[in-house]
């Protein structure tokens, strides 16, 4: 199978509820401000959950680096794969990462959860803040009465924000901003600085 097939099945089964839920947002190919990483699917609601697809036609060369990058941002993380890679992925990813396997059974393709993901305790406020657009950074800093200079570069504003807000509070703010956005067209350009 290829990534688009697995993505379609996963969205039709595991993410169907969230796609139709007004308090959730499902985002394809979310660019992340960590090592120019991108997650295949992000689910934003009461948590930030990333889903990385590794089809049998992919390689696993980047998986360890991807896991390191994703762990700086996501509350939960899961890998969706096929039987071919399942045991290798179980060896490569941390125990808190959830696992799904996509396989054909009696002519039907389905998704089965192999391991339930656990909360990630290694999120970093700086990288969460880097998901925000500049106007959002300034708005949050102002609302929280945190001192900054308007001429500061985005990464400095992110640093100030992460130094002054607890990671969990910042995570909640970032999720609300991501869910509330209507203009995702230029998202990757807006977060990079």
- Assigned domain for 176 exists: yes
Contact criterion met (CB below 8 Å) for 76 and 117: yes
Same domain, 133 and 70: no
Of 69, 88, 115, which one is at a domain's C-terminal end?
A: 115
- Assigned domain for 190 exists: no
Same domain, 41 and 109: yes
Same domain, 66 and 144: no
Same domain, 48 and 107: yes
C-alpha closest to that of 160 among 130, 183, 133, 184: 130
Of 95, 115, 135, which one is at a domain's C-terminal end?
A: 115
Same domain, 20 and 64: yes
Which pTM was predicted?
0.90
Question: What b-and-e string marks burial along 40-63, b requiring 16 or more CB atoms within 10 Å of the CB?
Answer: bbbbbeeebbbbbbbbeebebeeb
Sequential pLDDT tens for the chain (193 residues): 888 999 999 999 999 999 999 999 999 999 998 878 899 999 999 999 999 999 988 889 999 999 999 999 999 999 999 999 999 999 999 999 999 999 887 788 889 999 999 999 999 999 999 999 999 999 999 999 999 999 999 999 999 999 999 999 999 999 999 998 886 544 444 444 4
> Residue 79: phi, psi to the nearest 5?
-110, 135
Distance (Å, rounded) from C-alpha 176 to C-alpha 178? 5
- Max Cα–Cα distance, the chain, nearest Å: 62
- Assigned domain for 167 exists: yes
- Assigned domain for 108 exists: yes
- Assigned domain for 192 exists: no
Res 184: pLDDT: 57
Distance (Å, rounded) from C-alpha 28 to C-alpha 43? 9
Range of the domain at 177: 125-183
Same domain, 103 and 139: no
* The total number of structural domains that make up the chain: 2
Res 108: pLDDT: 84
Same domain, 60 and 129: no
* CATH code of the domain containing 15: 3.40.1350
Of 73, 90, 115, which one is at a domain's C-terminal end?
A: 115
Res 119: pLDDT: 97
- Assigned domain for 135 exists: yes
- 5 Cβ neighbours under 8 A, 6+ residues apart: 55, 109
Same domain, 25 and 106: yes
Same domain, 18 and 60: yes
- Assigned domain for 188 exists: no
- Assigned domain for 120 exists: no
């Amino acid at each position: 199978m290829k990534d688009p097939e697995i993505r379609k099945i996963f969205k039709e089964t595991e993410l169907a509820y969230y796609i139709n839920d007004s308090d959730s947002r499902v985002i394809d190919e979310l660019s992340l401000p960590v090592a120019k990483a991108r997650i295949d699917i992000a689910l934003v609601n009461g948590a930030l959950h990333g889903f990385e697809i590794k089809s049998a036609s992919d390689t696993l060369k980047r998986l360890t680096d991807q896991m390191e990058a994703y762990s700086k941002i996501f509350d939960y993380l899961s890998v969706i794969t096929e039987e071919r890679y399942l045991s290798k992925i179980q060896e490569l990813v941390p125990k808190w990462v959830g696992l799904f396997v996509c396989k054909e059974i009696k002519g039907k393709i389905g998704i089965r959860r192999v391991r339930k993901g656990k909360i990630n305790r290694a999120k970093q406020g700086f990288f969460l803040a880097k998901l925000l657009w500049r106007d959002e950074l300034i708005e949050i800093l102002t609302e929280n009465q945190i001192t900054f200079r308007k001429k500061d570069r985005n990464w400095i504003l992110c640093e100030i924000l992460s130094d002054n807000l607890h990671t969990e509070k910042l995570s909640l703010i970032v999720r609300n901003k991501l869910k509330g956005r209507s203009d995702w067209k230029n998202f990757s350009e807006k977060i990079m600085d």
